[in-house]
Structure 1
């Protein structure tokens, strides 16, 4: 998968700016340790994963080394979205030794973090199996890494919820209270941005009925019991799509996969990730 294959807005621009920032904070006005190496020394390096993972982050790695030294040559053995076994070589690079070592940390930071996100997403997608339920991410992302993590979620086989506060309505308890009710909030949303998806979060069956009557496109069930979830599904059938949210862990996800819901959203895809253990090994030429 490549950023051009996604519908995440401004992804390529975000990628370039994020890499620039990462290099600025790490390299500053120059890598003084790399200056220990003769300026014309050539090297070859391999990046290895110490554990099974789902790969994500290749474009960020390529951008790191492009910004540092476009003459470096990278050879990839896996694509984003691939399942990579432990101890496999993910990619090799060849060229100026100083450039390789200067970019090592920034490149691996992106690759380990985004592969960690994709690996978590892949596990959730596997739990959903062939149920037809789409597992969605949330806005609970690492600040500054929103578009990158959304991309990694796609690499792991899950799906994106709204990207931010601008592309879809998600009307929650405080919005409802401030707007004067569910019906008023939905009606105003249709005026503000016609054609945008309108989703309403509800906390009980009475609110569910109000959201259905208002014409909401999607209704999010927040902390519903399994019994009320089944009732909500029946009430909403043919009128709105149903999304399950709140305390969705691996165990509950397996149970929900047997229900006729459209979406399950979980912040765990992006906020509970564990970076993949990667290592770079260099050989001087």
Structure 2
């Protein structure tokens, strides 16, 4: 904030709310979702998830998947508002009769793992001015073939075409993340090692992207900075040492799981002595990882990060780590190509 008396920026205290939260809601603890290694468990919504404006049945499906329907509704609103920009879909309004009704099929253009079908439905529900019929052919987490119909929607043609891109942007993005995660899960099949994500997510879409990781067979790391402590090199420098950083976290937040990053084997024993719940082996080779697993001997969970590829992931799993951390699941996954094919129109 600036003013004539204060030409330089001054911090202003603002109340930050989660998407979908109300000002009088109690602060919600972070939640990492199903399969989270930090112990966060399923997310607890700070409000009744059915308070959203979505169809109650759709809201229940979203909540059952660990998604907050209120947040999904807000994201859908943002997507649609961005596309319309306070105007109308000029192409559709000009070319499609107002009373036209059609069925559209969401079709996979390539093979992959699907995620975000109910999110796409949420977008449609905001745009469709009349009731619409939905036929669900597959479920999130299903593996599909090229040409397979995923979802069929019957509604006003104008509404369907206006919602098309917003719905597909989210559906293709989430399905791409699920598909990328499935590739890692396949490589790790038969071992105890699970692939899990990081916080390298698209701002505003973290919950959806981490949901897509779960759909692909992966596990979630912490959802936010409040779920668990992760002591990295900069924290060590700031605190004056690994032990000092660890003790500070334990003293300030005694109930929070603590993960500590190490980049040398000789750092492991002091971290174990402090009582770390999980140790992050950063840029270890598979051979050094095996030595670290033997040294730890089950006294803490182990996670590998850095140097990881689909080609060498199995070597790290065979070394015995519990997790491999792959930021690329969310920051670099290509979309899964999905399109909307309109069937011939009918008039009521």
Fold in common (TM above 0.5): yes
Corresponding residue number in structure 2 for 1:180: 240
How far did residue 7 of structure 1 move? 4.9
Whose helix fraction is larger, Structure 1's or Structure 2's?
Answer: 1
User: 1:151 pairs with 189, 201, 211, which one?
Assistant: 211
How far did residue 35 of structure 1 move? 1.0
How far did residue 14 of structure 1 move? 2.3
Distance 1:163 1:80 in 2: 20
The CA deviation string for residues 243-269 of structure 1, in whole angstroms up to 9 with x for no partner, is 001121101102112121111111111
Does the residue aligned with 1:250 lie in a helix, a strand or coil? coil
Distance 1:66 1:115 in 2: 20
- Within 5 A, what are the aligned runs for 1:1-285? 2-7=61-66, 11-28=68-85, 29-36=87-94, 37-69=96-128, 71-282=131-342, 283-285=344-346
- Report the aligned-residue RMSD: 1.5
Q: Is the 8 A contact 2:136 2:150 kept in 1?
A: yes
How far did residue 157 of structure 1 move? 0.4
The CA deviation string for residues 8-50 of structure 1, in whole angstroms up to 9 with x for no partner, is 6xx3332111111100100122211121222111111111111
Structure 2 residues not aligned, in runs of 5+: 1-33, 35-60
Distance 1:155 1:251 in 2: 22
Distance 1:172 1:128 in 2: 26
TM-score, normalised relative to structure 2:
0.78
The CA deviation string for residues 192-239 of structure 1, in whole angstroms up to 9 with x for no partner, is 222211000001012212211111100000011223212211111131
Does the residue aligned with 1:33 lie in a helix, a strand or coil? helix
Distance 2:215 2:63 in 1: 13
Distance 2:109 2:216 in 1: 19
Q: Is the 8 A contact 2:196 2:220 kept in 1?
A: yes
Distance 2:298 2:245 in 1: 22
How far did residue 143 of structure 1 move? 2.1
Q: Is the 8 A contact 1:137 1:266 kept in 2?
A: yes
Corresponding residue number in structure 1 for 2:20: none
Distance 1:192 1:33 in 2: 58
Q: Name the CA shift for 1:3/1:208 in 2 (closer, same or farther; >3 Å).
A: farther
Distance 2:266 2:132 in 1: 61
Distance 1:164 1:248 in 2: 23
Q: Is the 8 A contact 2:141 2:216 kept in 1?
A: yes
How far did residue 92 of structure 1 move? 0.8
Structure 1 residues not aligned, in runs of 5+: none
Distance 1:225 1:273 in 2: 24
Does the residue aligned with 1:38 lie in a helix, a strand or coil? coil
